[in-house]
Amino acid sequence: MRLAGFYLFALGVALLPILFPDNYFVIVVGASAGLHVILAVGLNLLMGYAGQISLGHAAFFGMGAYASAILTTRFGWPSLLALAAGLLATGALAWLFARPILRLRGHYLAMATLGFGVIVHVILVQATQWTGGPDGLSGIPALNLLGWRVDGDEQWYGVIMAAMLLVVWLTLNLVDSQVGRALRAVHGSEFAAQMMGVDTGRAKTQVFVISALFAAFAGSLFAHQQAFVSPDSFNLTVSVELVTMVVLGGLASTFGAVCGAIALTLLQQGLVVFEDYEMLIHGALLMAVMIFMPQGLFVGLSQAARRVRHRLKRRQPLPST
Amino acid sequence: MTALSSALLPSPLLAVTGLEQSFGGVMALAGVSFQVAEGLIYAVIGPNGAGKTTLFNALCGFYQPSAGSIRFADQELLGLPPHRIAARGIARTFQNLQLFFNMTVVENVMVGCHLRARTHLLAAALRLPWVQRQEQQLREWAIAALELCELADRAGQPAGSLPYGLMKRVEIARALAAKPRLLLLDEPAAGLNDTETMALRDLIGRIRANGVTVLLVEHHMPLVMGVSDRLLVLDYGSVLAEGAPADIQADPRVVAAYLGGAVNYAV
pLDDT single digits (tens) B178-236: 999 999 999 999 989 999 999 999 999 999 999 999 999 998 999 999 999 999 999 88
Q: Which domains does chain B have, with CATH numbers?
A: 12-89+180-267 (3.40.50.300), 101-177 (no CATH)
- Does any domain span residue A206? yes
- Does any domain span residue A259? yes
We report the CATH number of the domain holding residue A88 as 1.10.3470
Contact A197 B92 (CB under 8 A): no
Q: How far apart are CA B14 and CA B232, in angstroms?
A: 13
> Is residue A2 a contact partner of residue A175, using CB atoms and an 8 Å limit?
no
Q: Which residue of B has its CA nearest to A185?
A: B100
Number of domains in chain A: 1
Query: What ipTM does the predicted assembly reach?
Result: 0.87
- Does any domain span residue A57? yes
pLDDT single digits (tens) B25-79: 888 999 999 999 999 999 999 888 888 999 999 999 999 999 999 999 999 999 9
- Does any domain span residue A277? yes
As a dihedral over the C-alpha atoms of residue B5, residue B6, residue B10, residue B15, rounded to 10 degrees, the angle is 160
Name every chain A residue with its beta carbon within 8 A of the beta carbon of B91.
Answer: 195-196
CA distance, residue A172 to nearest chain B CA (Å):
8
- Does any domain span residue A320? no
CA distance, residue A263 to nearest chain B CA (Å):
25
Name every chain A residue with its beta carbon within 8 A of the beta carbon of B99.
Answer: 188-189, 192
- Return the DSSP state at B246: H
Contact A178 B117 (CB under 8 A): yes
> Is residue B166 a contact partner of residue B152, using CB atoms and an 8 Å limit?
no
Other Cβ atoms within 10 Å of A299 Cβ, number: 21
pLDDT single digits (tens) B100-132: 998 999 999 999 999 998 888 889 999 999 899
Interface residue of B62, B107, B127 to substitute, partner A, most A CBs within 10 Å: B127
Strand B182-186 to B213-217 pairing = parallel
At residue B219's C-alpha, the angle toward residues B213 and B224, to 5°, is 45
- Does any domain span residue A273? yes
Confidence of residue B5 (pLDDT cuts 50, 70, 90): very low
If DSSP codes are grouped into helix, strand and coil, which group holds residue B133? helix
pLDDT single digits (tens) A139-194: 999 998 888 888 888 899 999 999 999 999 999 999 999 999 999 999 999 999 99
Q: What local confidence, expressed as pLDDT, does residue B1 receive?
A: 41
Is B35 buried (19+), middle (13-18) or exposed (0-12) by CB count in 10 A?
A: middle
Sheet containing B67-72: give its strands across: B26-36, B14-23, B67-72, B75-76
Domain that holds residue A225: 4-315
CA distance, residue A194 to nearest chain B CA (Å):
5
Nearest to A169 by CA among A223, A214, A200: A214
Q: Which residue of B has its CA nearest to A176?
A: B124
Contact A188 B178 (CB under 8 A): no
If DSSP codes are grouped into helix, strand and coil, which group holds residue B186? strand
Q: How far apart are CA A258 and CA B20, in angstroms?
A: 52
- Does any domain span residue A8? yes
Is B61 buried (19+), middle (13-18) or exposed (0-12) by CB count in 10 A?
A: buried
Q: How far apart are CA A176 and CA A178, in angstroms?
A: 7
- Does any domain span residue A59? yes
Q: How far apart are CA B95 and CA A162, in angstroms?
A: 48
Distances (CA, A) of B198 to A89, A144, B220: 59, 70, 11
